[in-house]
Amino acid sequence: MAASSDGAERRRRYRRAPLGCPLALTPPKTRALGRLARYGFLAVPQLARLEGVSERTARRHCRDLFDGELLDAIAVPRAALAAPGDGNGPDLAFGSAPGIFALSPAGRRVAEELGIEVAPRPAARYGPRNSLFLAHELEVRDFAVWLELAAGGPGHSLAAWRDGPAAWIELGSPEPPRQARSDAWFAFALGERALVGLVEIDRGSERGLEAAGSRWAEKVVAYRRLFASGRLQAVTGYRNARVLVIAATARRRDALAEFVARQAPELGARFWFAHRADLDLPGLSRPAWRRAGSAGFLPLVPPELLGAEGDTDGTTG
């Protein structure tokens, strides 16, 4: 690594340093490159959790890949990534966010040469001007990390993941909404079964849920059309899916669940809601979710079915 101390690394955070020798793609660095190929960009803490290493180790691997021009470093102010409940203290005015790295064009080429699948996504330049977008997208990736860490048994894995525009599904409708624009969709393999979800990350930015033309009102219409159209299977390969909504607070979770229950009671079994803090610990069998129209809390997958074979309601494609 070019920097000999943490202070030197901070001073050169967004400037490449010469490696002095060809970059050695060790197995840990290759795995890190593969993670970035799947998700486009990740914060260092997210990569550390996925790899089961310290943040210092993950940062060192990313720094080497950055200096080797296989990753780009994204400059984002700390305040831009603050969670809704983090307050408005002066500490947010200084310093920068945790390191965030994106796959570079050269990194994409190298990944493809190594046979690593690179998820399709439009070219974009990330930085301070679109940091609000990044805050949302990093929370989408937080959920992907949660899913990957939930793979605790044989045959359990995050088999498919699409985010951003790659997750949008055309509805074939002549009237708006013409797309179901989930933040991501995934298929989580459970042996011969699959848990399929359409992910919605809600940071609580929209206040007037009941207002005509609100974003959530439009989403409910889009999902109603999606489930009635057969387009879900045509695009994802699966017949059934749940809409998994992760809200910033418990109060927001409950408000969204009640809103969907009023707007589309027939979709109550399709919409599942969780509070962001409830997902700090991985586990598909933790009772952290409530369905629209129901006050009780359920696991995404009942523990007695995690190792069973065959079909379960709402989880197979």
Q: In the prediction, which pLDDT does 5 show?
A: 40
pTM: 0.87
In the prediction, which pLDDT does 192 show? 85
Q: What is the pLDDT of residue 129?
A: 65
According to the model, what pLDDT value does residue 289 have? 96
How many whole angstroms separate alpha carbon 72 and alpha carbon 65?
A: 9
Task: Kindly write down the DSSP assignment for every residue of 107-173, as one continuous string.
Answer: HHHHHHHTT-----------SGGGHHHHHHHHHHHHHHHHHHHT--STTEEEEEEEEGGGG-EE---
Q: What is the per-residue pLDDT for 134? A: 84
Walking along the chain (317 residues) 10 residues at a time, the average pLDDT comes out as 42 78 92 96 96 96 95 80 61 69 94 92 64 84 94 86 94 93 95 93 78 84 95 93 96 95 95 93 90 93 66 43
Q: What pLDDT score does 317 carry?
A: 40
Task: State the pLDDT at residue 313.
Answer: 41
- Angle at CA of residue 107, ends 129 and 117, nearest 5°: 105
Architecture of domain 1-126: Orthogonal Bundle (1.10)
pLDDT of residue 162: 95
Please confirm whether the linkage preceding 128 is cis (ω < 30° from 0).
no
Domain boundaries along the sequence of the chain: 1-126, 150-317
Say what the pLDDT of residue 33 is. Answer: 97
Give the CA angle between residues 101, 23, 33 to the nearest 5°: 35
